[in-house]
Structure 1
Amino acid sequence: MGARRPGRRRRGVRVTGPGDPGRQPADGPRRDRTGRRADGAREGRSGGARRPSRPPVDLPRLVAYEAIAAVHRDDAYANLVLPAMLREEGLTGRDAAFATELTYGTLRHTGTLDAIITDAAGRDVQRIDPPVRDALRIGAYQLLHTRVPAHAAVSSIVDLVRSVGPGATGFANAVLREITTRDHDGWVDKLAPSAETDPIGHLALAYSHPQWIVRAFAEALGGDLGETARLLIEDNERPPVHLCARPGLADPVELADEVGGAPGAFSPYAVYLSGGAPGELPAVAQGRAHVQDEGSQLVANALAGAPLDGPDGRWLDLCAGPGGKAGLLGALAAQRGARLTAVEVAEHRARLVAQATSGLPVTVLNTDGRTVGADPKLPEGHFDRVLVDAPCTGLGSLRRRPESRWRRQPADLPPLTRLQRELLTAALRAVRPGGLVAYVTCSPHTVETHVTVTEAARRCGFPVDFVDARPLLPAGMPGLGDGPTVQLWPHRHGTDAMFLAVLRRG
């Protein structure tokens, strides 16, 4: 065996270099949801008193542990804290990819991993000390979902537990070795309810989604459990990065060549990336493109391209933060001599909208979209095209936000659907007679889609007609249903599960 690379010391933990067997942060700083240190201290490896050294722990696994711990301990967002940690540690290439896979994979599969750990440990996973619990989750994910040899996965996690939960190494070793006695399918066969007697429960454990979400997906898919399973499988895959080449500022074919990507399948502005850091691309930094799921591009473009009689120069985005759809609509408006008013109630998100639409014919208002008619800048019956990208549960983008499936609860629905109806009603008041409103959610839950649209149209007090949205999407796009609304799906279209309804005010 070759000589071990010299360890580094950080926050009282001895850290080996990438690829070596390990390290961990029981004493690491708490972080907020954005990845900033909660104590306000600057990042760095120097300064402050030294704690006693601890056993070395593999750096990529430690970073994954720190990110997962921040998600569970501090209610952080993995897609924000993990990149900050990778930068801080200088992890790149295969080591960064491994840390990313461990973090996102463990978070996506937490429900099933917890059921397996509970059985292997002989005690409920919630009774296990949180640091040890998170380490065991990472270990179980490695054993069941990666090609890491079992002995290496067990050894590395025992080293991690030795740092984060002294005294629990024997317990962790026993639990992980019990997990090695079956593969993933074997554990599902043992623990999942019968697919015949409890199909929703079976799918929930087999594909690691809460039962209420599986039930909502199945309902939106017309009760087709086979297709529901395909959706759940796709939800657990790493999603591609989509760019939007801004009309008039970038050609998608040329942008694809520039960034080493490929033109999208459906949106005329989409470019697919295989990976990397899209925020560092010159095209994004220069405002010629922005990161945006292809489904979001399609629904925004559908509103902009829908046939409209009469004037067409006053557009409104009623829930504009953080600015992706406003950026695309603003670029389209610039080509057509129109102007977009972008409304965002949260001040920090309104600033993001202003940054995203800089140089475009866009006016940003930091106000509540429900104030149409009461705010002189949002008069009734004034706008020609209105987008309502309503706040929602986000069930359509679970593949991009791995922890959100475990955070959302059915109790979240009533206040959200009430807000959605109020915003859509305000949009219908804001649009002129004959004008168009596009209602969009990144959720396929029928209560947030069909029920919200139907109720708002019924209660608004004036005639509203549904426009068939299917012709507003690219010709030949499969699986768009019977209309007049459209539901996009990850497993059908490779997009987030975006819902689109287009209404015309009478």
Structure 2
Amino acid sequence: MRHPQPRIDVDVPRLAALEVLKAVRVDDAYANLVLPAVIQHYRLEPRDAAFTTELASGTLRLRGTYDAVLAACIDRPLRKVEAKVLDALRLGSHQLLSMRVPAHAAISTTVNLVHARSSTGAAGFANAVLRRVAVKPLDAWLEELTADAAPGRYAEIAFSHPRWVIDELRRALGSEELPALLAADNVAPRVTLVARPGLAERDELPGTPTPFSRHGVVLDGGSPAEVPAVAEGRAGVQDEGSQLVAQLLADVPLEGDGPDATWVDLCAGPGGKAALLAGLAAQRGARLVAVERQHHRARLVARNLARTGGAVLTADGTRPPLPPGSVDRVLVDAPCTGLGALRRRPEARWRRRPDDLLTLVLLQRALVGAALDLLRPGGVALYATCSPVRAETEEVVSSVLGQRDDVELVDVGALLSHVPDAAGPLAGTVQLWPHRHGTDAMFMAVLRKR
């Protein structure tokens, strides 16, 4: 006679967080895009949804730190631990070391997760490991693990960044401010809203006006979806740095006797900047054309432009189906490593590899070249990356300037003079930083067709 298996009580918010980690690991998903769907799937109430968000996002941010702690508590390499069990151990470690969760609750709920998703033996293993983790607070673990560590290894453990990422950020910023930047990458960003011109006014959005963008507010609390203007598509969620990108492109003066009628967003997906640009263009009687290569992202762009107007073309931005010399303003918000947005997309630090840089840089140069070919004389192109890595910022711009004699770099410092300490690596360019400006680390350079 087979005995019935005992029922395992699984905590649903923690199960939801585990599903997010699985999607990131297996499907290369972005946590901030997966979280809303997972929360909806499990029908989490606001309090539980907030717990799941902090648990999943916080675990991803501090994964490097927790892996160092777990390695000290496990008698085998972490790569030999079953992947889903390791995900659960990281979640348990975050609760024990960085959240106000009682140790017994953090351990028992994690063990139940492992039991339900793996096996009884794995659950016993998880119980033993987490009891070792719980012996010390995080500060004591860091002191022990970094006591004899070299400076690079110390930063890896204490700030939870891969070594190559730390090296690239040091090269871009210098050593003095590096700890402040690394620490800022591990702080959950505030929710920032943008009022789309012609559809909403900033005054109608709840929150504190953004210090640099004239279109944004920092949400004081609650869900953005509960804001009427957001629900109606008249406003959206957008980092202040991204707002400044669109604002700067609209503000740069053109030269020559040509019109100011056609604007292009050459890498438009998912459409946040395109929506702001379309509103700004419409106020001047201009029209935005949004180009996006991937079909599913082009659909997101179309959804964002539903209220602001503008055309959407599903096409390769390096070969846009538009006549050369026919465009007045172009945005190249190029695909990049995303190392400037680690607050919002913490998993990017673990997903990206140094070898990605070459492929991305070649694409970035090709996109800038295509944008410049579209411009009429006197027109401008804004090259932006959500990365401060110098290979993706100044070196791309310098390469383009060295290969073409029909363009010049525009000094845009005066247009953003209200943003302090934002000088970029090339004179006239702009570099924002999380620890200085509370934004993503956006780089901006404007090129004008001679």
Q: Same fold (TM over 0.5)?
A: yes
* Cα deviations by residue, 1:305-363 (Å, 9 ceiling, x for unpaired): 01222322221211111111111111111111112222111122222222211244522
Asked if the contact 1:54/1:163 (under 8 Å) is kept, the reply is: no
Distance in 1, Cα, partners of 2:383 & 2:233: 26
Aligned counterpart, 2:152: 200
* Cα deviations by residue, 1:175-220 (Å, 9 ceiling, x for unpaired): 112212222222222223757xx32221121011111111111111
2:344 to 392, 400, 404: 400
- Within the alignment, does 1:301 sit opposite 2:251 as a pair? no
Asked if the contact 1:393/1:408 (under 8 Å) is kept, the reply is: yes
1:472 to 415, 426, 438: 415
Q: Which amino acid aligns with 2:406?
A: P
Query: Which secondary structure state, in structure 2, belongs to the residue aligned with residue 368 of structure 1?
Result: coil
Asked if the contact 1:193/1:201 (under 8 Å) is kept, the reply is: no
2:99 to 134, 137, 146: 146
- Within the alignment, does 1:246 sit opposite 2:196 as a pair? yes
Q: Structure 1 length as normaliser, TM-score? A: 0.83
Asked if the contact 1:333/1:361 (under 8 Å) is kept, the reply is: no
Asked if the contact 2:199/2:308 (under 8 Å) is kept, the reply is: no
Asked if the contact 1:243/1:293 (under 8 Å) is kept, the reply is: yes
Aligned counterpart, 2:212: 266
Query: Which secondary structure state, in structure 2, belongs to the residue aligned with residue 397 of structure 1?
Result: coil
Distance in 1, Cα, partners of 2:325 & 2:241: 29
Structure 1, unaligned runs of 5 or more: 1-50
How do residues 156-195 of structure 1 correspond to structure 2 at under 5 angstroms?
156-164=109-117, 165-192=119-146, 194=148
- Within the alignment, does 1:414 sit opposite 2:390 as a pair? no
Distance in 1, Cα, partners of 2:77 & 2:191: 37
Distance in 2, Cα, partners of 1:130 & 1:488: 36
Q: Which amino acid aligns with 1:131?
A: K
How do residues 221-236 of structure 1 correspond to structure 2 at under 5 angstroms?
221=173, 223-224=174-175, 226-236=176-186
Distance in 1, Cα, partners of 2:16 & 2:311: 41
Aligned counterpart, 2:314: 366
1:103, distance to aligned residue in structure 2 (A)? 0.9
Query: Which secondary structure state, in structure 1, belongs to the residue aligned with residue 446 of structure 2?
Result: strand
* Cα deviations by residue, 1:36-56 (Å, 9 ceiling, x for unpaired): xxxxxxxxxxxxxxx955321
How do residues 216-365 of structure 1 correspond to structure 2 at under 5 angstroms?
216-221=168-173, 223-224=174-175, 226-256=176-206, 261-309=207-255, 310=257, 311-365=259-313
Query: Which secondary structure state, in structure 2, belongs to the residue aligned with residue 396 of structure 1?
Result: coil
Aligned counterpart, 2:378: 434
1:126 to 74, 79, 99: 79
2:52 to 96, 99, 111: 99
Distance in 1, Cα, partners of 2:82 & 2:394: 43
- Aligned-pair identity (%): 55
With over 3 angstroms needed to count, the CA separation of the structure-2 counterparts of 1:391 and 1:188, relative to structure 1, is same
Query: Which secondary structure state, in structure 2, belongs to the residue aligned with residue 481 of structure 1?
Result: coil
* Equivalent pairs, count: 442
Asked if the contact 1:242/1:294 (under 8 Å) is kept, the reply is: yes
* Cα deviations by residue, 1:56-82 (Å, 9 ceiling, x for unpaired): 122222222222223223433322333
Distance in 1, Cα, partners of 2:329 & 2:168: 31
- Bigger RCO (CA 8 Å, 6+ sep): 2
Structure 2, unaligned runs of 5 or more: none
Aligned counterpart, 1:81: 34
CA RMSD of aligned residues (A): 1.9
Q: Structure 2 length as normaliser, TM-score? A: 0.93
- Within the alignment, does 1:494 sit opposite 2:438 as a pair? yes
With over 3 angstroms needed to count, the CA separation of the structure-2 counterparts of 1:229 and 1:80, relative to structure 1, is same
Q: Which amino acid aligns with 1:91?
A: L
With over 3 angstroms needed to count, the CA separation of the structure-2 counterparts of 1:180 and 1:361, relative to structure 1, is closer
Query: Which secondary structure state, in structure 2, belongs to the residue aligned with residue 439 of structure 1?
Result: strand
With over 3 angstroms needed to count, the CA separation of the structure-2 counterparts of 1:406 and 1:193, relative to structure 1, is farther
1:270, distance to aligned residue in structure 2 (A)? 0.5
Query: Which secondary structure state, in structure 2, belongs to the residue aligned with residue 370 of structure 1?
Result: coil
Distance in 2, Cα, partners of 1:83 & 1:430: 38
Asked if the contact 2:31/2:345 (under 8 Å) is kept, the reply is: yes
Distance in 2, Cα, partners of 1:75 & 1:480: 32
Distance in 1, Cα, partners of 2:37 & 2:446: 39
